[in-house]
Amino acid sequence: MARTVLLPVLLSFLLLPLASLALTQDFCVADLTCSDTPAGYPCKSSVTANDFYYHGLAGKGKINPLIKAAVTPAFVGQFPGVNGLGISAARLDIEVGGVVPLHTHPAGSELLFVTQGTVAAGFISSGSNTVYTKTLYAGDIMVFPQGLLHYQYNAGTGPAIGLVAFSSSNPGLQITDFALFANNLPSAVVEKVTFLDDAQVKKLKSVLGGSG
């Protein structure tokens, strides 16, 4: 009985030094010359104000002609100052008729703020596959919970722009169509797991650059 009571107390004392360490370190700017780890990048030894500044979202991103959209990230790989802070950002540029296809961010939730144009957006819940959709206008925001499939497309008559915040310094990005059809996963396997026929799979692989 005594052991059962003392165990939580002992664990609390063991965790105190870790909590103290976290409070005494203001930041950990990523050393991008090292490899990323589950805990983030190691810290740079020499830091300047430039490490906490990023200009990469100021201009329009490079439009992908297939989807008529651009996603410009300011993740830890581009913006080392966010390392370990649990935040990052991105910019969306969506041309008329453009779309950011169904995708997921495995490591972070997303908050989208539309600054120009009209964006139709939605996500799908993991349990009941319920779809939540909304048309967003300049000044509107929408949240997409971590790991859930979601999309955005231009629903207006002019270009749309959005700024995005994430709850992770490296939220990840996996586009469903690219994951299925832009690699060397054999067509026969794709057909089995998607219920698509051979002609459809081969057409999509051809469009997205896949093989097999």
CA distance 180 to 37: 26
103 is in an annotated binding site: yes
110 is in an annotated binding site: yes
105 is in an annotated binding site: yes
Phi, psi torsion values for 135, nearest 5 degrees? -95, 125
55 is in an annotated binding site: no
CA distance 132 to 125: 8
Q: Extract the annotated binding site for oxalate.
A: 105, 110
Q: Extract the annotated binding site for Mn(2+).
A: 103, 105, 110, 150
Q: Extract the annotated binding site.
A: 103, 105, 110, 150
